[in-house]
Chains A and B, each alone.
Chain A
Amino acid sequence: MTSLLAVLIDGSIYASWLFLVAAGLTVIYGVMRILNMAHGSFYAIGAYSAASLVGWYFNNGMGPAWVSYLLLVGAALVAGLIVGVIVERGLLRLMYGRDEILMVIITYALLLILEDGMKIVWGVSPYFAYQPYSELGRTSLGLLKVSNYDVALVGVSALLGLGLWAWLERTNQGKVLRAVIHDREIAVAMGVNVKLMFTITFVLGTTLGALAGALTAPAISVVPGIGIEVIVLAFAVVVIGGLGSIGGAAVGALLVGLSRAAAVHYAPEFELFVIYGVMSLVLAFRPEGLFGRTLARKI
C-alpha cells in the first residue's frame, strides 16, 4: 500500500517536472515546426542563472527566504527572454522556410555552441541553490517523507499547463496562433504578422525551458551537461503526446512519470527501459503520438 502511494506521489512529481521541461519544446514545434535541440541548453541556462542569483542572494545574507522563489522565476524570465530574442532574431529568422531536418541540425549546432558558452560564463564547478528546496520542509506520509518543494512543483506545473491552455484557447492572441498552426500561408494572407508570432512563440518556449531549469536548480547540483540529459527525456514525452500538443505533453509526462515510478518501486531493472518501452508502444499504435494529428502533405 505504501509502495502504491509512493508510486502515485513520485510519478506525479516526476511527471510535473517532465511537463515543465517538455512544454516549451512542444509549443515551439507546434507553431514553428522546429524540433529544437537547443531546448536542453535553455533549461541549463535557466538553471545556471537561477543558481547564480539565489546563491549570491543567500551568500550575502540578503533577506527572507521567500524572496529566493521570486529570484528563481525572475532569473528564468530574464534569461529566457534575452536568449530567446537573440537566438530567434539572430539565427532562426535567417533560416525560416528551410527543411525541418536542416533546422534540427542548426539547433543541434546551437546546443553545442551554448554548452561551450556556458562553460565560458559559469566554468565547470558545480553551482548550488539548495535553500529554496530545503526551506519548504517536508511532509510525512507514514514511512514516506515528501519534499514540500516537489509537491509545490506539481501545483506550478498544473497552473502552467492551465495557463498555456487558456492562452491558446481563450485569448485573441491564442486564436491567431492557432490559425498560424493550422495554416501558415492562409494566416499570412489574412494579415497575421507571422514573423512576430514566431518571435513570441520562440521566446515563450525558451522561457519555459529556462523556467524548468530554474525550478529544478534548487534540487540538483548545477553542472555542465545537465541540459543534454534532459533533452532526450523531453523528446520522449512530446513524441508520446504528439508533437506540438500541450495536452499531449501533459498526458505523455503523466504516462512516463507513473510508469517510471512503478518500475523503480516494483521492477527496478526495467527502470531505464520503461520510458522508451512506453514510447515504442504508443508509436506502434499511433505513429503521430496520442494527440498528434495526421496532416496531409502539401504538394
Chain B
Amino acid sequence: MKNNKSKFSKYLVSGVAALALAAGAAGSASAAENGKFRVGIVTFLSGPAAGPFGVPSANAAKVLVEELNKGNLPAPYDKIGINGAEIEAVIIDEAGGATKQVEEYRNLVQRQKVDAVIGYVSSGDCLAIAPVAEELKTFTIAYDCGTPRLFADNPDAAYMFRTGLDASVDNIGAVRYLAATRPDVTRLAGIQQNYSWGQDSWADFTAAASVLMPEAEIVEEQFPKIYQGQYGAEISALSVKRPEIVHSSFWGGDMEALVLQANARGLLEDATGLLTCGEASFATYKDQAPNGMIIGARGPFGQFAPDNELNTWFEGVYQNAYDLEPVYPATKMAQAILGLKYAAENAGVADKEIPSAEQLAAAMKGATFESVSGTVEMARANGHQAMQGITYGEYHYEDGVASIKNAVSFDGECVTPPEGVAAADWIADGFPGAKCN
C-alpha cells in the first residue's frame, strides 16, 4: 500500500511537472506569435550595480518602450513601436555572474522567444554572452559594458553589436582633457577597484599620459578591493604624495564613498579628482564634491548629451516619469533601443513585420543613426562597434544647483583606435591617424 502511494505520488509529481513545462512552453510560443516585437532587456536590478547603473537603465527602457508604443517620439522615430509592431519588453536581472547570465540568455531566446536582446553592464557578462549570441543567432546589443575584448575575442561576430563606447576611449579622453585644460600638471595619482575594470582603466590612462603629458609622473597608485567602502588608508597614502590629479575609474557606492571621504579629508581640495564614471552620481554629490572635480560619462551621455530634439524629448519624459534627470546609463539604454528601432525599420521588411536576426544585423552593420547622444556611427569592429566622441567637464554646485562647467569634447576619431588596431598599440605608437578638432 505504501509502495503504491509512493508510486502514485511520483507519477503525480511527474505529471504536474510535465504539465507545467508544457504550459510554459505553450505560453512562450503563443506570446512570441502575438505580433509584438519582444525585446529582452538585461541589466542589474539587484546588487551594488543596480542603484547607479541598472535601475536608471531599466527605468529608461520602461519609459521609452511606453512612449514608443504610443508613437510619441520625434522623427525619425515617430512610427509606433518598432516598425509598427507593439514592443513587449522582458526585463531581467543581470546579477548572479556570467554562468547564470548565459542560462538567462538561453531562456530569453529559446523559451521567451525574444526577437532581440539589449543588455549587460558587466564586461564579464558581455564576454560570456557574445559567443552564445552567435550560436543562437540572436540579434544582441551590448549597451554599456566597456571591455575592448568584446570584439577582439569575437572578431567574426555577426549578431553582437555595441552601441556604447569601450573603456579605452574613457581614459584616452581623460588624458586629452587634462592635456587641453591643465597642460602644466606633473604629478598624477590613481585609485582603482582591484579587478579588470580598474586595472585596464589605469593601464590605458597611464599609457596615454606618458605620450600626451610626457612631463607628468605617476606618484601613487592604489588598488583597493571592490565594494570596500572605507578608503582611509588609501586617502592618506595619496595625500602624502601630494598629487595634482587623482584619477579614478570607481563607480557606484565606492565612488560616492571615495568622494565623500576624500573631500572631507581635504584630498580633493589639494588635488583635482578625475572620475571617468563620475556623471552617474551627478544628482547625489550636492556639496559633498568640490567645485572643479572633473567628471566623465563614458561618452556623450547623461549631462554631456547634446541639446538635440531627441535628447530634449527624452530628458523631458524621463524627468516626468521619475522626477530625476537621466544619468549616463539611462541615456546609453535609450541609445541601444533607438539603435534596435533603426535597424528594424531599415531592414527592408513590410510594415508591422518583424525582421529576422539576419535582417536586423545587416541593417545595423556599419549604420549611422541618430540618437539621444547625437549621431552614432557603427564604424569599428567591422561595423559592430559604435564610434562617438567623448566629453569631460567640471562639476560645480552653487546655490543648491549642480552644473557642468568647462566641458571639452573630443571627436570619435581623436579617442578611438583605427579599425583593427588595439588601443594599447595605438597609444604606444603615439596615436597615429588621430583626428582631433
Q: Which residues of A contact B (CB under 8 A)?
A: 2-3, 6-7, 9-11, 13-14, 17, 116, 119, 124-126, 128, 130, 133-134, 138, 140, 143-147, 149-150, 216, 219-226, 229, 260-261, 264-265, 268-269, 271-272
Contacts and interface: CB of A to CB of B under 8 A. Distances in A.
A147 B264 contact: yes
Interface string B213-230: 000000001111101111
The main secondary structure of chain B at its interface with chain A is helix
Contact of B233 (A143, A216, A260): A260
Contacts of A144: 236, 239-240
Most buried by B among A220, A221, A271: A221
Most buried by B among A6, A13, A269: A6
A20 to B, nearest CB: 12
B284 A126 contact: yes
A208 to B, nearest CB: 18
Contacts, number: 131
The main secondary structure of chain A at its interface with chain B is helix
Contact of B264 (A9, A116, A119, A133): A133
A135 B267 CA distance: 17
B292 interface: no
B239 A125 contact: no
B288 interface: yes
Nearest to A223: B253
B48 A224 contact: yes
B264 A134 contact: yes
A82 to B, nearest CB: 24
Most buried by B among A9, A10, A133: A10
B46 A124 contact: yes
Contacts of A14: 230, 232-233
A11 B52 CA distance: 30
A21 to B, nearest CB: 10
A268 B237 contact: yes
A13 B225 CA distance: 18
B148 interface: no
B260 A145 contact: no
A268 B221 CA distance: 8
B70 interface: no
B402 interface: no
Report the 8 A-B pairs with minimum CB-CB distance, sorted nearest first: A221-B256, A223-B253, A10-B233, A264-B233, A221-B253, A124-B50, A145-B266, A6-B236
Given A14-B233, A133-B264, A134-B264, A229 B256 contact: no
A2 B239 CA distance: 10
B261 interface: yes
A145 B261 CA distance: 11
Interface residues of B, number: 42
B87 interface: no
A224 B225 contact: no
B253 A219 contact: no
A3 B240 contact: yes
Nearest to A136: B264
Nearest to A264: B233
A219 B223 contact: no
Interface string B376-420: 000000000000000000000000000000000000000000000
Contacts of A219: 230, 257, 260-261, 264
Given A124-B51, A220-B253, A271-B224, A229 B240 contact: no
Contacts of B266: 138, 140, 145
A137 B51 CA distance: 29
A261 B236 CA distance: 9
B232 A126 contact: no
A125 B51 contact: yes
Contact of B237 (A133, A224, A265): A265
Contacts of A125: 51, 55
B234 interface: yes
6 contacts: A6-B237, A14-B233, A124-B54, A147-B261, A225-B227, A229-B229
Nearest to A262: B233
A264 B234 contact: yes
Given A124-B46, A128-B284, 17 more contacts: A2-B240, A7-B233, A10-B236, A133-B261, A143-B239, A143-B242, A144-B240, A147-B232, A220-B230, A220-B253, A220-B256, A264-B237, A265-B236, A268-B221, A269-B223, A271-B222, A272-B194
Nearest to A126: B51
A119 B48 CA distance: 11
Most buried by A among B50, B223, B237: B237
B435 interface: no
B233 A221 contact: no
B50 A224 contact: yes
A268 B56 CA distance: 34
A224 to B, nearest CB: 6
